[in-house]
Structure 1
Amino acid sequence: MSRKRLQLLVESLSRSAKHFTEGEVECLIKLFDALLAKSSSHFAVAGFNRTVFRDTLFTAFGMTDDAVLDRVFSTFDRDNNGCITVVEWVQGLAVLLRGTLEEKIKFYDLNGDGYISREEMFQMLKNSLIKQPAEEDPDEGIKDLVEIALKKMAMGFRESPKESQKYNPDLDYDHDGKLSFEDFEQAVRDENLLLEAFGPCLPDIKSRIAFEEKVFLETRKL
């Protein structure tokens, strides 16, 4: 890539990925090019595939859960073609690393259907809680916690006059095991720690800082 083309791309992405400076965007483009060079995918001219993406998230952030990795990949892959382009890479990292609460919440709808289901809550909590003693069934404790969480969030809207108009009885967990994503989003706004409680859909702050230090400091030397 010529210097002029690189500069134009940096300027464009700095406007669309507002959480990064131009210097940081350039570093992320260089990292993308390095990852692309290692890819053996037939997409290599345009971007890298799911395997390279998952390996990168594992190496950088220790993320291992298949459902979470697939959801993060889908969130990055905006045109749904199975290939992460440089634009999708930088814009996706802007949210993953420095996104607002509203932006980050989207990662928690694991299958992208607009609801938070029992299964999704179970999957998130299963990977975030300390394992029970060997003689106990950890899944049973997680299932109980999911029921409590669903009931708490669904009932919260009926009990709050301000938000009562947002509660849809057709989406009640008693009927279909789902919570509307709108209600989940409101619950998280009311209690930000819910995102941490529901587990590793996003990198922890320590791994984010380490990633940024490595990319934004070391890449500049290249």
Structure 2
Amino acid sequence: MPTPPPPPDEIAGDVQPVLPAPEGRGRLRLTRPAAAALAAAAVGMGAAVLIAATANRGSETDGHIPNPSGSPSEAAPSAADCPVRATNPPWSPPVHEGDSAVFIGDITLPDCTRVGPGQTKTKVWRLKNAGTVPWKGYSLHRLDLPQRPDQCQTISDVPIEDTRPGESVDIRTNVTTPRNPGLCYVRFKLMDGSGRVAFPGGRPLNFQVIVD
């Protein structure tokens, strides 16, 4: 079976690639079939099924978000972690063949901007429709739900103006910072007009501001 092509970046340049650990410090990472086979040989088929199910968690090819909250499994990042470097999710094609998005830039509130507590600012991202599919009714859906009082507050679904292939679009939403200092790291996924994740294999768009 041929190896699938590398995952297309939903938002190219949104995050930096994670470099491999120095020799001798990296962790062995088995492919999904190899991990399942090893688990089956060691503890039986029941454990293999569990491992396979865990490996698939968070990425489904039908384009729906399996975990609506999208909460990261690791501890919440702090201001010292800014900018947060995310990794690519498992490879998956776009929901619509030929669809593609490219991150152009943060027009306002670039990563690690410092904002006072209890303030409302406007976040603006610029994306380009780099594919052949018109964006009609597209939106950004916030993954970090429900919103807690110690998080930056936004609307859950940010509308995107209809964008033809080759065009760029500015996407804006108001962000209200919490009263407590820390890092606001909020992630969004691009959704199509029917409410499906447009790029299941793409990295989330995000904003991250330091509240102090």
Which structure has the larger Rg? 1
